[in-house]
Amino acid sequence: MGELRYVHLGFGEESVDYQEAWQEQRRVHAARFAEEVPDTCLLLEHTPVYTAGRRTADNERPLDGTPVIDVDRGGKITWHGPGQLVGYPILKLPRPVDVVAHVRRLEDALIRTAAEFGLETTRVEGRSGVWVLGDPVESRPAPGGLALDFDPRLQDEEFDPRLNGPEYAPSNAGQRREDRKLAAIGIRVAKGVTMHGFSLNVNPDNTWFDRIVPCGIRDAGVTSLSSELGREITITEVLPVVERHLRDVLEHAEPKPREIEHASV
């Protein structure tokens, strides 16, 4: 791939409204498709917002009527806001685009970023994003004093973790020693050009996630660099590290079109 251009849309007191950033994404997407700009990654912090991908279920949204913006990316519901670094890589890739390979490249850059700060992260089979693994299931403390065999999140279809207090809250997954997501990824591809991207939790207030079922996952939670490392990490510290690893991964990639299986006659 060619050189990657970075555009900083706003951080801290200049955090960017989601709709404003979405409009800028569409503008850059059209310009990239027309070959008017190179591959571009928009980097920013958002003002607090819940966004829902196309697969979000009604029972994963906030119970208190907090507004949610429905968007045209894959995945389910998540939160964006202060303390979270958001990146929108707008890249032209060979068609038909291999979406899975693109997601894996973004994960790779974020895994390398976390490692540079001293945090080991990984992928989880069947779940996109970057994860901190919890203890083996048999070693974890059971929420609510129940045996894990009776964890209602897994056994009761009517159970709603949003109604059951801090012991089931996604933000407390570290205390429960469960798997917890450090970075979420959700993308869309139109005309061979990618949109949307990743959100990396640096030092946000993770209790924002407790109003929803983040990414539709009930048996795991969320975390941040600061929470895992036990010290304050800032967007300012993380930004150049993310840029360096994204550039290294994306500029050295040789994307190939997705292979199409032809039915035998």
- Pairwise CA distance, residues 32 & 183, whole Å: 26
**Three-class SS of 161-226:** HHHCCHHHCHHHCCCCCCCEEEEEEEEEEECCEEEEEEEEECCCCHHHHHHCCHHHCCCCEECCHH
Q: Which residues of 129-149 are buried (b: 16+ CB within 10 A; e: fewer)?
A: bbbbebeeeeeeeebeeeeee
- Name the β-bridge partners of 182: none
Report the candidate in 115, 112, 45, 48 with the shortest Cα–Cα distance to residue 85. Answer: 45
State residue 224 phi and psi, 5-degree precision.
Answer: -145, 165
Q: Answer yes or no: 215 catalytic.
A: yes
Task: Find the helix or strand (DSSP H, E) in which 80 lies.
Answer: strand 77-80
User: Cα-Cα-Cα-Cα dihedral of 206, 212, 215, 216, to 10°?
Assistant: 140
Rounded-to-integer distance, Cα 116 and Cα 161, Å:
34
Q: Is 96 helix (H, G, I), strand (E, B) or coil?
A: coil
In angstroms and rounded to an integer, the radius of gyration of the C-alpha atoms of the chain is: 19
Task: Beginning with the edge strand found earlier in the chain, give each strand of the sheet holding 49-52 in spatial order.
Answer: 68-70, 49-52, 77-80
Catalytic residue, candidates 215, 225, 239, 246: 215
Catalytic residues: 215
